[in-house]
């Protein structure tokens, strides 16, 4: 059996294989009538991957409070209406997944990168309050280039965000999600606190690495405390800020080791997003080395992402021990049945939805 299609167990969660869906923001919620509520677009988007053979689907970032949304059109999980809408989607994925698909929600807070225009709005930068935006927050009053300056968070606000993550996790369990991923990457709030390029605080939430990691680990603890012991917890991190003086791989290994000690079962290893002057050296599989190092040195399961488009690339990443799972995004948008095709290319039989069986490729003619 190809390594990519070997099963994986995380706590009590059984995944049929190692090919997964990376979170992808869709900017498709109705900001006026149903802010933060996933709708038919999200059902179609995520449901297509379930029918396409993905073993684990991670949703787009779901904000833990209203001010944590990346844009006014982003999804949330901070009220019961949103939870009910997500339950419709989890039920669909469980019912129609070709590979016994499981689904996890990514819980997030965008911090200083919140209240921005969505990519297809025709505008860029921060959304003013007159156009439905809001004042953003962060560890320090330093703006991301091209965005409005955030307000530095007080201790009570920080504690409130930790509670918001925990409350959203409870809603996620009730909505039928199989796992939860905490978003600590891409320059959003938890990563903002972690990065010395952004966090200039001198209190307990800043200063040295211990202080800068405190919010990330506090959120891990709060979420772990309210979800079932049997449910795995994932954490997405940016392994490198790709900028001098920022987070580097060594710091990320230390964070991953601590996160595992606090109850994280898999690190979803990405990179970048903290600052606009980052210098990313991108190429096919350019982040697998980060995943491999964290997996080996921190002793924790990892997922890898980034310009992985072919079945052969994904198979190589898992077979060589660089990651325990491969998460794809753009390749899945191009082909929502990527996993069914990958299985065929690797010589593995993956069950197709009965409605699509007439299209199963034949190996001999």
Question: 3-state class of 69 per DSSP?
Answer: coil
* 139: Cβ contacts below 8 Å, ≥ 6 apart: 111, 152, 153, 192, 193, 198, 199, 200, 201, 205, 206, 215
Question: 3-state class of 140 per DSSP?
Answer: coil
DSSP letter assigned to residue 192: H
The answer to whether residues 116 and 71 touch, using CB atoms and an 8 Å cutoff, is: yes
Q: What is the largest CA-CA distance in the chain?
A: 69
What DSSP element (H or E) covers 249? Answer: helix 249-261
The residue behind tokens 């072919």 is 310
Q: How far apart (Å, rounded) are the C-alpha atoms in residues 226 and 237? A: 22
What DSSP element (H or E) covers 234? Answer: strand 233-238
User: How many helices and strands in the chain, by DSSP H and E?
Assistant: 10, 12
- Could you confirm whether 117 is annotated as catalytic? no
- CA distances (Å), 269 to each of 241, 254, 277, 322, in order? 12, 13, 21, 11
Backbone angles phi, psi at 106, to 5 degrees: -95, 115
CA nearest neighbour of 142 among 185, 206, 218, 215: 206
First to last CA, the chain: 23
DSSP letter assigned to residue 346: T
Q: How far apart (Å, rounded) are the C-alpha atoms in residues 143 and 3? A: 44
Three-point CA angle 330, 332, 334, nearest 5°: 75
Candidates 27, 78, 188, 356; catalytic one = 188
Give strand pairing partners of 102: 56
Q: Would you please indicate which residues are annotated as catalytic (active-site) residues?
A: 188
């Amino acid at each position: 059996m190809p390594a990519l299609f070997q099963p994986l167990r995380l706590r009590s969660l059984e995944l049929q294989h190692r090919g997964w869906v990376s979170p992808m923001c869709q900017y498709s919620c109705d900001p006026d009538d149903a802010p933060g509520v996933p709708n038919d677009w999200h059902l179609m988007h995520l449901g297509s991957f379930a029918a396409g053979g993905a073993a684990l689907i991670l949703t787009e970032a779901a904000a833990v409070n209203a001010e944590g949304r990346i844009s006014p059109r982003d999804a949330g999980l901070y009220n019961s209406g949103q939870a009910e809408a997500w339950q419709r989607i989890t039920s669909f994925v469980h019912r129609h997944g070709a590979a016994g698909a499981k689904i996890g929600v990514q819980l997030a807070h965008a911090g200083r990168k919140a209240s921005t225009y969505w990519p297809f709005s025709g505008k860029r930068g921060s959304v003013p309050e007159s156009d439905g935006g809001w004042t953003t927050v962060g560890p320090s009053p330093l703006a991301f280039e091209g965005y409005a300056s955030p307000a530095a968070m007080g201790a009570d606000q920080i504690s409130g965000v930790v509670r918001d993550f925990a409350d959203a996790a409870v809603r996620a369990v009730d909505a039928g999600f199989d796992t939860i991923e905490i978003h600590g990457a891409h320059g959003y709030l938890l990563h903002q606190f972690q990065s010395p390029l952004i966090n200039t605080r001198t209190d307990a939430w800043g200063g040295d690495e211990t202080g800068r990691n405190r919010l990330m680990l506090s959120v891990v603890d709060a979420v772990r405390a309210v979800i079932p012991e049997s449910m795995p917890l994932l954490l997405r991190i940016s392994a490198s800020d790709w900028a001098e003086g920022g987070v580097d791989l060594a710091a990320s290994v230390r964070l991953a080791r601590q996160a595992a000690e606090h109850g994280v079962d898999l690190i979803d290893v990405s990179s970048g997003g903290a600052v606009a002057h980052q210098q990313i050296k991108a190429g096919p599989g350019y982040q697998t080395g980060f995943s491999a190092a964290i997996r080996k040195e921190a002793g924790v399961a990892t997922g890898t992402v980034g310009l992985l488009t072919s079945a052969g690339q994904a198979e190589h990443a898992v077979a060589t021990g660089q990651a325990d799972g491969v998460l794809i995004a753009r390749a899945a948008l191009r082909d929502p049945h990527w996993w069914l095709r990958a299985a065929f290319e690797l010589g593995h039989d993956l069950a197709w939805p009965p409605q699509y069986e007439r299209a199963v490729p034949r190996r001999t003619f």
